[in-house]
Structure 1
Amino acid sequence: MIALEDVIAMSGLPEETIDAVAEHEQVPHIVAASLGACLLTVEDGAKRIEHMFRDNICAAIARNDHGHASELMAAMRVFLKEHAGRSNKQTNTGRGSGYLMKGDTPRR
């Protein structure tokens, strides 16, 4: 049986990024790890994860949870340092994931 830690390790993402995806999408961490890994295989996937971080930060500030907002900002900086400016078409697997998000055009 594959454990959550295995899925996190295979995703290639820091655990804090997976936490942010899970928080934003309100899904279990195992789903967030898979989603994050898939997003890194599409052209604007890193930008989508960045937007998730930003949405979470705004929500934390709105509920006056500045400690959590600071944690999210620190995690976003780490993520951006690793992924900003990179073409995400072939980041993780070297091929598209087959996972389409709203607005994506299927590849043929």
Structure 2
Amino acid sequence: MLTFDDCLGLCGLSKGEIAAIAEHEHVPEIVAAEMAAYLCQNSAGERCIRRFILEDIAVAEKRHDAHHAESLRAVLVHFLATHPRALE
């Protein structure tokens, strides 16, 4: 049986990045890790993850949750640093 940490290692994203996908898609983090593994196979999928995080930031800002928006910005910076194809 695979644990969440096993799945995290297989998908190549951080816990924060997985949490952002789970938040955006309203799914458990284990499902988000599976989605991430699929999406990170090409630049189109990585752009999709970038869009998810940007939309999560916008939602946090709309509800005036500056702390969460700032946390998500840090997640976005890390994601873009480790997945530069997301900017293609």
Q: TM-score scaled to structure 2, two decimals? A: 0.92
2:81 equivalent in structure 1: 81
Measured in 2, the distance between the counterparts of 1:81 and 1:31 equals 24
Which amino acid in 2 is paired with 1:65? D
Partner SS state of residue 38, structure 2: helix
Residue-by-residue CA offset, 1:40-90 (whole Å, 9 max, x unaligned) = 11341111000000000000000110000000000100000111236xxxx
Give the share of equivalent positions with the same residue, in percent.
36
Measured in 2, the distance between the counterparts of 1:26 and 1:45 equals 18
1:28 equivalent in structure 2: 28
1:11 equivalent in structure 2: 11
Partner SS state of residue 2, structure 2: coil
1:37 equivalent in structure 2: 37
Which amino acid in 2 is paired with 1:6? D
5+ residue gaps, structure 1, are 87-108
Measured in 2, the distance between the counterparts of 1:9 and 1:33 equals 9
Measured in 2, the distance between the counterparts of 1:77 and 1:59 equals 18
Higher helix share: 2
**Are 2:53 and 1:61 aligned?**
no
Report the count of equivalent residues. Answer: 88
Which amino acid in 2 is paired with 1:62? K
Measured in 1, the distance between the counterparts of 2:82 and 2:41 equals 14
